[in-house]
Amino acid sequence: MSILSLLVKGGYTMIFIGIAAFIGIWITVERYIYYRHIRTDIDEILKSVKPYLEESDFTAAINHLRGNDSPYARIVIKGLLNRSKASMEGAARGEVRNLEKGLGPLSSVVAVSPMLGFFGTVVGMIRAFMQIEALGGSVNPSRLAGGIWEALITTAAGLAVAIVFLIFYNIFVERENYVVTNINIIMDEIGEYLEKE
């Protein structure tokens, strides 16, 4: 029996589990591309920009950073343009919102998938017992067992979806925390030069 035919036996609930899985895949791919794009070493940024800041040449520092499309560079540019640490903090809040984008729906996929699986199993079990009642209790045990394992397919599918995307969710949250920590470090470092102005 193929995996596809096995999933089809799970009934209509499998459609909703499939939709949840599709949403999870979409968010995971999008977040992977996003986080891969912002893999920038803040030490490199600080090392390259500090000589300009030591000379209070903010314009040169801004021009140097314009080629760097990372959240760190955007935050620093905003602060240097406005000569304000508050501007950096505002830009940082916007970047943190970008970091968190999609994590709420991905968390919902993780939470809802097992529930959909259990719902499908309960519906399948109700159908199996209705069949027993309709046949007056004289039902073939092998036929009953077949109905039960078909009902349990939805639970297995729901749990599989939840487990896979829980792993990705935790990876993305860890990555977000790492970037936020680096944002705080770079704001503190650059903020010292802005306070001198």
Question: Quick one: pLDDT at residue 145?
Answer: 67
Query: Is the per-residue pLDDT at 1 higher than 60?
Result: no
Residue 123 is predicted with a pLDDT of 85
Whether pLDDT at 90 is above 60:
yes
Least confident piece of the model among 8-12, 36-40, 47-51, 122-126: 8-12
Three-state secondary structure of the chain: CCHHHHHHCCCCHHHHHHHHHHHHHHHHHHHHHHHHHCCCCHHHHHHHHHHHHHCCCHHHHHHHHCCCCCHHHHHHHHHHHHCCHHHHHHHHHHHHHHHHCCHHHHHHHHHHHHHHHHHHHHHHHHHHHHHHHHCCCCCCHHHHHHHHHHHHHHHHHHHHHHHHHHHHHHHHHHHHHHHHHHHHHHHHHHHHHHHHC
Q: pTM value? A: 0.85
pLDDT at res. 101? 94
Per-residue pLDDT tens digits for 156-196: 999 999 999 999 999 999 999 999 999 999 999 998 888 76
pLDDT band at 89 (very low <50, low <70, confident <90, very high): very high
